[in-house]
Amino acid sequence: MRPSSCDTFVALPPSTEKERVIFGKNSDRPCDEVQEVVYHPARDYGAGETVECTYIEIEQVAHTHAVVLSKPAWLWGAEMGANEHQVCIGNEAVWGRESADGEEALLGMDLVRLGLERADTAEGAVDVIAELLEKYGQGGSCMEDECSFTYHNSFLISDRKEAWLLETSGKMWAAERVEEGYRNISNQYGITTKIDKEHPDMRKYAQSEGWWDGKSPFNFATVYSFMTTGRIEEAGSRYCEGKKMLERSAGHITAEAMMNILRDKDSGINMEGMFMTTGSMVSVIPSDPSLPGVHYFTATPDPERSVFKPFIFVKHLKPLEETTSPTFGPEDPVKKKPRFQSKPDRKHKLFVKHELVAAITDSYKEKGQKITQNMRLLEEEKLKGMEEFLSHGVDKPDLLVNLFTSCVEEEMAVYGKS
């Protein structure tokens, strides 16, 4: 199995409708890995408190923002998510000249969660991640059962008004601001000569390694990338296909358009095989700060046969039990993090139902088509319902406390009726 990883997209006005930012990501992971969707409320901490990430313990901040995350069940961090300030982040694996092998440190997925918990703007998240990289570094296996699967990370980060592309190589990094139009990333470096922020030693380090002559225009992707690898070529193909699909919808990119891109199998964006799309996310963020953002998650593999279910940040939200994997037992004495049950028992309630229905649809074509049709009708109903909140705001936030959970229950009911 050669990991291929993911694709992340963002579209800003004027490429979108109604002055909105549209963010989307597929999380492509090992096919037997469960992806859960979880909510963590905002929280205050005392001086000297720490937080246990996937592999290392780091200093905690005084306050963390409320977040909703789509994450592999076995680790602390997240593949993608959003916070109460409508900051969205997704990360991609990238490989370059610098070795990604090294001591356990922060995973890119840890940095996604930390950026969301600690920043209230996209640029702020860039600064948070950069500071954490400088202090703690990045490293460690990104697969539970494969110690050699390591990589550097790129991040696509958005808020109500702009997006940032942040690319890393060890502790070195470069960032590019995106203020309009659209941008997508795959598993390759994409920042070239437009660099709006950078590690102060990034160019000096590249020159010391003999990657840059110190005179020619500095192109981050050229300097820090391998010239060619199988992974980069494959990622380049997905990147080009994703960009073409964004181009075709330019000026009219909506949540539905982004969902269609994430569902596309011919391009490889909706990945199949030993590495597959195990979770998907689409967020719709109005530029008007008085209006809520709506964040859609599947919490199940293959968006083609999944429902994008809406989540809105309101007060008094409850845990998302139907999409949270079970845990058990005492904390691990070494890593001091909750230990999950064996892989089959990590499956949350929605995942179990989805897996059963997927087996039925594979065996009975006519029944599978009916199930998919009913799922699409449910999704369309939710998209229409969310338009009211996106356009006019939320008058009765208490009615949305169980929005995502009720949608999960409706999806499971569709499975039962089909």
2-16, 156-170, 230-244, 353-367: lowest mean pLDDT where?
Answer: 230-244
pLDDT of residue 332: 52
In a domain, 388, yes or no: no
pLDDT of residue 362: 77
What CATH number has the domain bearing residue 97? 3.60.60.10
In a domain, 1, yes or no: no
Please indicate whether residue 417 or residue 172 has the higher confidence score (pLDDT).
172
pLDDT of residue 364: 79
pLDDT of residue 334: 46
- Say which DSSP state 144 is in: T
pLDDT of residue 229: 47
Of 242, 320, 276, the residue nearest 70 (C-alpha): 320
Q: What percent of the chain has pLDDT over 70?
A: 92
What range does the domain containing 52 cover?
7-354
Backbone Cα Rg of the chain:
20
pLDDT band at 144 (very low <50, low <70, confident <90, very high): confident
Please indicate whether residue 418 or residue 195 has the higher confidence score (pLDDT).
195
* Residue whose entry in the numeric block shows the structure tokens 């979770």: 279
- Say which DSSP state 60 is in: P
pLDDT band at 164 (very low <50, low <70, confident <90, very high): very high
- What's the pLDDT tens digit per position in 234-271? 567 899 999 999 999 999 999 999 999 999 999 999 99
Of 187, 196, 65, 43, the residue nearest 118 (C-alpha): 65
In a domain, 2, yes or no: no
- What's the pLDDT tens digit per position in 38-71? 999 999 999 999 999 999 999 999 999 999 999 9
pLDDT of residue 234: 58
In a domain, 405, yes or no: no
Active site residues: 6
Quote the number of domains for the chain.
1
Q: What does each C-alpha distance from 212 to 174, 206, 399 come to in angstroms?
A: 15, 6, 57
φ and ψ at residue 134, rounded to 5 degrees:
-65, -40
In a domain, 109, yes or no: yes
- What's the pLDDT tens digit per position in 371-402? 899 999 999 999 999 999 999 999 999 999 99
Structure token pair of residue 31: 């096919």
In a domain, 313, yes or no: yes
Torsion of CA 196, 83, 309, 144, to 10 degrees: 80
Structure token pair of residue 150: 């390591």
Query: Is the bond into 333 cis (omega within 30 degrees of 0)?
Result: no
In a domain, 302, yes or no: yes
In a domain, 243, yes or no: yes
